[in-house]
Amino acid sequence: MTFFKRKTMIEQLEAELAALRAREDSLSGRHAAAEAALGGAKATLQRHHLDAHLDADEKARAKLETAIAACVLTCDGYSDALAEVQTMIAAAEQKLARERAIVERKAASENLMRDLDAVERALPDYLAAGKRFTDVLEKVHFHYESGAMARFIGNCATQVEVAAGFALVELRGMVDAIRDGVAPIPAAKPVSTSVPVPEPAPPTMTVFMLRSAHYRDYGGRKRFAGQWEDATMPVTTAQRALRLGVAVPVTDPKRAQLRGARGGDFNPKAPDVVDLDAFDEPKNLPYIDPVLRAANFTPLPTAEPRTILIDVPRS
């Protein structure tokens, strides 16, 4: 046995509106075709007036005018019908909007009613739990913090009980107001979205290359730095290039003299290109800051050892 589900009012209105919009599209197409036919009939009559014998072709002219009148009547008929359908569509849209608003208000009022029922069920449990906790704390009344917590919980429970009595009465009245359209539907609770914090860019250092070199960036991609050009690379790689003499700081005077001298004439596969990531540095060597190296400090000469005689009395 087959049971047919009865359509709701909204479903009926949506079906009616869809049928009206389909009728509007059909009428619009027919109206456009009628206007095109009217334009063609007028053009034919105009050519008749310009080319035909005006006294001998009265019947032809009358026939053309009759065709134009028929086209005008057809256009007017479609235009009137189209205007009427558009009025019916506007009325159906308003009726559908009202019906949807009724359904939305009813659902919102029922949701609020369920929430208030849940609050009334949870309130006694909250008050009872606070009372039990206060009774336990009062057993250690001699402890200041415990006594303060007991008084705080007791005061909060009293205030919550009084405030809940007023709030629930007011919210119960809002249920009917929302359903009847007197009060607006409560806005949905905003959803907090965490904004992704961009990761800080890894530290880099710019040096002036004395030799062409390969190196890898922080993403592991292999890069090429041409001789007598500036290169920005990871700090550790740049410091290695400075220690090896492959590069100098950008403050070095050589940069002002040699920068861009090769004019971009590089061969990354040349045998003299240094691989900074594969270069083995000598171990156990003292680290010299590249700035101090660039300063060209000269160590002072050490004095020759001298022997000094001291008279010491013998005992």
Q: How many domains does the chain have?
A: 3
Question: Are both 140 and 87 inside the same structural domain?
Answer: no
Question: Are both 173 and 251 inside the same structural domain?
Answer: no
The string of DSSP letters for 209-252 reads ESS-EEEE-TTS-EEEE-TTSEEEEEHHHHHHHHHTTSEEETTS
Please tell me the predicted confidence (pLDDT) of residue 308: 61
Last residue of a domain, one of 144, 179, 214: 179
The string of DSSP letters for 119-138 reads HHHHHHHHHHHHHHHHHHHH
Q: Are 243 and 213 in contact (CB under 8 A)?
A: no
- Mean pLDDT by groups of 10 residues along the chain of 315 residues: 70 91 92 91 88 76 88 92 93 92 92 92 91 89 87 90 90 90 86 77 91 90 92 93 92 90 85 83 53 55 59 58
CA separation, residue 204 to residues 207, 234, 294 (Å): 10, 4, 20
Q: Is residue 288 part of a domain?
A: no
- Enter the pTM of the model: 0.49
Q: In angstroms, what is the C-alpha Rg of the chain? A: 47
Please tell me the predicted confidence (pLDDT) of residue 307: 61
Report d(CA 103, CA 243) in Å as an integer: 77
Q: Is residue 222 part of a domain?
A: yes
Please tell me the predicted confidence (pLDDT) of residue 310: 62
Q: How far is CA 189 from the centre of its chain?
A: 19
Last residue of a domain, one of 45, 71, 104: 104
Question: Are both 148 and 213 inside the same structural domain?
Answer: no
Please tell me the predicted confidence (pLDDT) of residue 1: 47
CA separation, residue 108 to residues 98, 174, 188 (Å): 15, 10, 10
- Quote the Cα angle for 172-190-106, to 5°: 35
Domain residue limits at 20: 9-104
For 274, which DSSP code?
A: E
Q: Is residue 303 part of a domain?
A: no
Q: Is residue 90 part of a domain?
A: yes
Question: Are both 52 and 19 inside the same structural domain?
Answer: yes
CATH code, domain carrying 45:
1.10.287
Q: Is residue 294 part of a domain?
A: no
Please tell me the predicted confidence (pLDDT) of residue 211: 92
Q: Are 233 and 223 in contact (CB under 8 A)?
A: yes
Q: Is residue 123 part of a domain?
A: yes
Question: Are both 174 and 246 inside the same structural domain?
Answer: no
Q: Is residue 3 part of a domain?
A: no
Question: Are both 168 and 216 inside the same structural domain?
Answer: no
Question: Are both 55 and 79 inside the same structural domain?
Answer: yes
Q: Is residue 199 part of a domain?
A: no
